[in-house]
Structure 1
Amino acid sequence: MSAALQSEGSSEDIGTRLKLVRQIFGLTQRELARRAGVTNGAISLIEQNRVSPSISSLKKILDGIPLSLADFFTLDFSPSENVFFTAGELTEISYDPAITMRMVGRRVKDRALQMLKETYQPGADTGDAMLRHGGEECGVVIAGTLTLTVGVQERLLNPGDAYYFRSDIPHRFRNMGSEAVVLISANSPPSF
């Protein structure tokens, strides 16, 4: 292995990193090899950490993506915060006993997206005063029947039905049925 590659990371880092980068760019080993003008076996051996490429060989391979050596070694694949959340880690953000809104990743810094698991008990209603905020929102009904009003449109949504609208349009959620409504929703940017 060349001194330059040793200073940047171990050979295992290079093989694992190459495989991750290749997969991120949606390339098979064969496609990357074709683009880079090397054999499929060369890519395979590097990814298995059985061969350590020289800087020039690695650059040639990365040109097939295309990706610079600097970007290859500085890409951060580790999540900066929690990625997975148990049901108990979802944060309740509703104060209405008939409506629960459990948020995914409430404490994630600089969130660009808000995802909720919402439950509306029979008779639950977000209120006569229509909701309105910036951004967009969408959702999918998982159980029950939800009445959704968006502007002058109103629709009864059943399990599997979905919605997507600009959130600055006045909107209202109601459960006029006899069973609880469960839906998964997302807003961007977050409104809570």
Structure 2
Amino acid sequence: MSFDVGARLKALRALYGLSQRELAKRAGVTNSTISLIEQNRVSPSVASLKKVLDGLPIQLAEFFTMDLGQENKTFYGADEFAAFSFGDTIDFRMVGGSYADRKLHMMQETYHPGGDTGEPLLSYDGEEAGIVISGTIELTVGAESRQLSAGEGYYFSTAEPHRFRNTTDKPCVLISASTTTTFHKGQAASGQPLDTAEAPPAMTNQGDATP
């Protein structure tokens, strides 16, 4: 079951009482950008979608999970994670995707070859730590950049500009935890510009469908 990004954006825009023109102005994008997204004629990168949502404003995680209808709970089966896919290059699985008033994001992240959080580099309040489970990821934090392989990890202040990129020909899987209350990871998904991406981002509750 693919998540209908266009229908959700249109419904939220109506809920906030905004025209396409008003939302575009608040988000700093063109009217046509809003129109094309709502018609599902383009797939926005994570960065592009977040920029639009900032005009409402609403958090990216809330955009995808606000209607899961799940109560807070302690334990989650493998099929109960919230799953986010951006194109065919970056996949996220979040523990407790609909948990109210969350203060932590615990993620399994898969960066397929070419997967890239992109430019501009991410920067927001919080801290993040992670361990590479398989494959290799290039992590840039500030002026430092390093290739991390399976068994290696990282810890940094997310206020430092940072970027994750898979420059290899094999997938990379890592487990991360961040203290930010907003889902920022992957703000620029596969490096595809807004007007050339092909498939809209998908979100599933894995108990209902396969991403």
Normalising by the smaller structure, the TM-score range is 0.5 to 0.7
- Residue-by-residue CA offset, 1:47-71 (whole Å, 9 max, x unaligned): xxxxxxxxxxxxxxxxxxxxxxxxx
Aligned to 2:75: 84
Aligned to 2:160: 169
The count of residues paired between Structure 1 and Structure 2 equals 113
SS at match of 2:79: helix
Aligned to 2:145: 154
Amino acid at match of 2:128: E
Aligned pairs for 1:85-164 (under 5 A) are: 85-164=76-155
Q: Which runs of 5+ in 1 are unaligned?
A: 1-79
In percent, how many aligned pairs have the same letter? 46
How many Å separate the matches in 2 of 1:185 and 1:94?
A: 16
How many Å separate the matches in 1 of 2:132 and 2:181?
A: 20
**Which structure has more RCO (C-alpha within 8 Å, separation ≥ 6)?**
2
- Between structures 1 and 2, the one with greater helix share: 1
- Cα distance, 1:94 vs structure 2: 4.2
Amino acid at match of 1:91: A
How many Å separate the matches in 2 of 1:114 and 1:94?
A: 16
How many Å separate the matches in 1 of 2:175 and 2:169?
A: 20
Aligned to 1:185: 176
Amino acid at match of 2:151: G
- Cα distance, 1:97 vs structure 2: 2.4
SS at match of 2:86: coil
User: Which stretch of structure 1 is more off in the superposition, 92-101 or 148-157?
Assistant: 92-101
- Cα distance, 1:128 vs structure 2: 2.5
SS at match of 1:88: helix
Task: Provide the TM-score with structure 2 as the length reference.
Answer: 0.51
Aligned residues: CA RMSD = 1.4
Task: Provide the TM-score with structure 1 as the length reference.
Answer: 0.56
